[in-house]
Amino acid sequence: MAAGEWRADRVGSALRGGNPTVLRRLTAGFAVIGDTQFLPGYSVLLVDDPAVGRLSELPTDRRTAFLADMDRLAEAVERACGRLDPAFRRVNLEILGNTDPFLHAHVWPRYAWEPPERVGRPVWLYPPTRWRDERYALGPRHDGLREAIGRELDRLAP
């Protein structure tokens, strides 16, 4: 698989062990760190079946497991980011599904240093340039953050 091809099949590549953003395999999915880190610690929970497009498509036990995984990832991000940045405020959780066809949940850390016009607004209102800016692209400089979130996921394991 050529560099970056995993992006075309994020869930499948995670199942095959080829998605480099995977932090941990959880009960009903994969905890991954986001491709963009303009809000450091941004993570996503990917469902472990690429055919599942909506939460309501999961049987009740799998739905409950997915939501428990989302809670675990959110708490791990909260603990790690809270320790690494004193300006950490909270996490925002979202299941949207407007772009990627597979079920996934966004875990957005929010910070006091965000611009005042953004603090009380959804992350999606940040300008498109922020999302594509190479300064915020996931890279080796995020290894410590990845490790911190991974350690917290391990501590929170059932």
Rounded Cα gap, residues 109 and 111, in angstroms = 7
Query: Given a cut of 60, is residue 3 above it in pLDDT?
Result: no
Percentage of the chain lying above the pLDDT 90 cut: 89
Q: How many domains does the chain have?
A: 1
Question: In the structure, what pLDDT confidence band is assigned to residue 115 with cuts at 50, 70 and 90?
Answer: very high
Rounded Cα gap, residues 19 and 67, in angstroms = 22
Give the rounded distance of the alpha carbon of 101 from its chain centre. 16
Model pLDDT, residue 110: 98
| 105-126 average pLDDT score | 94
**Contact at 8 Å (CB) between 40 and 81?**
yes
Which residue range forms the structural domain that includes residue 111?
5-155
Question: In the structure, what pLDDT confidence band is assigned to residue 1 with cuts at 50, 70 and 90?
Answer: very low
Residues 6 or more apart from 106 whose CB is under 8 A from it? 34, 42, 43, 44, 92, 93, 94, 95, 96, 123
Model-level pTM? 0.95
Domain CATH code at residue 105: 3.30.428.10
